[in-house]
Amino acid sequence: MGSVLPAVQGFMYPNEVELQWSVLIVLYPYITGLVAGAFILASLERVFNVEAVKPTYRLALLTALAFLIVAPLPLQLHLGHPERSIEMYLTPHTTSAMAMFGFVYLWYLMVVLVLEIWLDFRKDIVLTWRASRGPKRWLYGAMALWYDNISPEALAVDDRVGKAITVIGIPSAFLLHGYVGFIFGSVKANPWWSSPLMPVVFIFSAVVSGIAAVMLLYMLTAWWRERKFDIACVDTMARFLFFAFVIDFSLEMLDLVHRIYEADESFRALDFMVHTKLYVSQIIIQIYVGTVVPLALLGLVQLVRLSPRVRSWIYWIAGSLTLIGIFAMRWNVVIGGQLFSKSFLGYTAYKMEWATREGLLPAILLMLLPFGILYVLVKLLPPWPAKPRKGDATVM
């Protein structure tokens, strides 16, 4: 706390000087947003039959799973005693939104993602099981639940059930990320957070970040595998990204205009904060670099005919800036909401540590972990068409 005191301006209450929610709490909504967004992109193809984005369907599902596995880790690292998190399920506190989220998480992980991935990959799992020997055979056999019926009728059943799960999954994805916005939006003591628009803004920003992440991953994995990616697919994703971004940005601006027009007792303090402490992260990074520039780039593609090469460069740049912008948005919500005093007469600073439990290093490692998990998942369940194998046509 002593190291933060020199950065305090004006009047802070003693319990406000040191920030309680660190960069790890910034990661948490960022990661869950990627999960929800990636899933919503996947469900576009499944429920609304958007054929163009089909090549990304499986990759989007695996991405959602990889990030969802990591989603609770920042919270556990922040709280300490991860072994106690099971208590949330054993003795659930029904009036606590945070405790109830444990069930939303479990539902989303097991009933939505794992089931949907299993049903979609079942044919590949069975084929690999049949073609493998040794431990690999055992592993894929277990994943197939030792039942290898992949007849068209059985796969048709899988498809129907999978579709039903996707339909359930869409509101679940909204619930998953809407909850994160709800947690902030319902803190009525904090005017920076307290807004009924918060869950809605979080959902749309989640969709934006999820589409951008899957689009980049799709192009990255194609480059990695030395294949050409389907530019029509990326065009469609970029179009969705553009539209989702327009809605997201409009909602954020609506929130901003509402705050400016309402100008309640907190407004001057928050306005001062945005123009000083949050200027770089909010105005420069979130709004200009992370929103206006990618929106302009994506809009340009919609208006002007450009060569595929130029378009793909634009998608690389716009996608990366979008992800930076959404991260900045999470940062500005979580950190920004703790920088001002409830007295509206003072401001503190966030001093990020490096190699401590809540420092930058664990945050970087936690951000890299989903990619490691995704690598394993892609090895286990390749989301792209494989070379024809023996037994491909076999039907029981």
Q: Under rule CB under 8 A, how many of the chain's residues touch other proteins?
A: 23
**Tokens standing for 170?**
């869409």
- Judged by DSSP in three states, 138 sits in helix
Give first-to-last CA distance, the chain, whole Å. 68
C-beta of 145 vs 232, nearer to other proteins: 145
Of 77, 71, 68, the C-alpha closest to 21 is 77
Residue 157 or 376 having the CB closest to other proteins: 157
Select 151 or 356, whichever has its Cβ closest to other proteins. 151
Of positions 5, 98, 110, 232, contacts other proteins by CB under 8 A: 110
Tokens at 66, concatenated: 């990889």
Which of residues 111 and 380 has its CB atom nearest to other proteins in the complex?
A: 111
The pattern of x and - marking residues 265 through 284 that bind other proteins according to CB under 8 A reads --------------------
* Degrees, nearest 5: CA angle 139-145-150: 105
91 versus 307: smaller Cβ distance to other proteins: 91
Residue 118 touches other proteins, criterion: CB under 8 A: yes
Q: Is-contact 208 247, C-beta < 8 A?
A: no
The stretch near other proteins (CB under 8 A) out of 11-19, 28-36, 236-244, 329-337 is 11-19
Instruction: Determine if 307 is a binding residue for other proteins (CB under 8 A).
Output: no
Interaction with other proteins in 132-171: which residues (CB under 8 A)? 144-147, 149, 151, 153-154, 156-157, 161
**Is the separation of the CB atoms in 31 and 70 below 8 Å?**
yes
Interaction of residue 345 with other proteins, rule CB under 8 A: no
Contacts of 393 (CB under 8 A, 6+ apart): none
Per DSSP, the residues of 172-197 read HHHHHHHHHHHHHHT-TT-TTT--TT
Return the number of the residue (90 or 303) whose C-beta is nearest other proteins: 90
Query: 311 vs 9, 288, 326, CA distance in Å?
Result: 47, 21, 22
Q: Which of 46, 122, 177, 311 binds other proteins (CB under 8 A)?
A: 122
CA distances 371 to 79, 206, 301, Å, are 24, 18, 29
Contacts of 208 by beta carbon, 8 Å cutoff, 6+ apart? 37, 241, 244, 245, 248, 322, 326
142 vs 135: CA distance, rounded Å: 10
Closer by beta carbon to other proteins, 161 or else 256: 161
Q: Min. distance of Cβ 373 from other proteins in angstroms?
A: 21
Region 78-107 residues binding other proteins, contact defined as CB under 8 A: 86, 89-91, 93
Nearer to other proteins, 148 or 235 (CB): 148
Q: Please compute Rg for the chain using Cα positions.
A: 23
| Residue 209 beta carbon to other proteins: minimum distance, rounded to whole angstroms | 31
| Contact stretch for other proteins (CB under 8 A) within 6-14, 180-188, 267-275, 349-357 | 6-14
Contacts with other proteins by CB under 8 A lie at 11, 13-14, 86, 89-91, 93, 110, 115, 118, 122, 144-147, 149, 151, 153-154, 156-157, 161
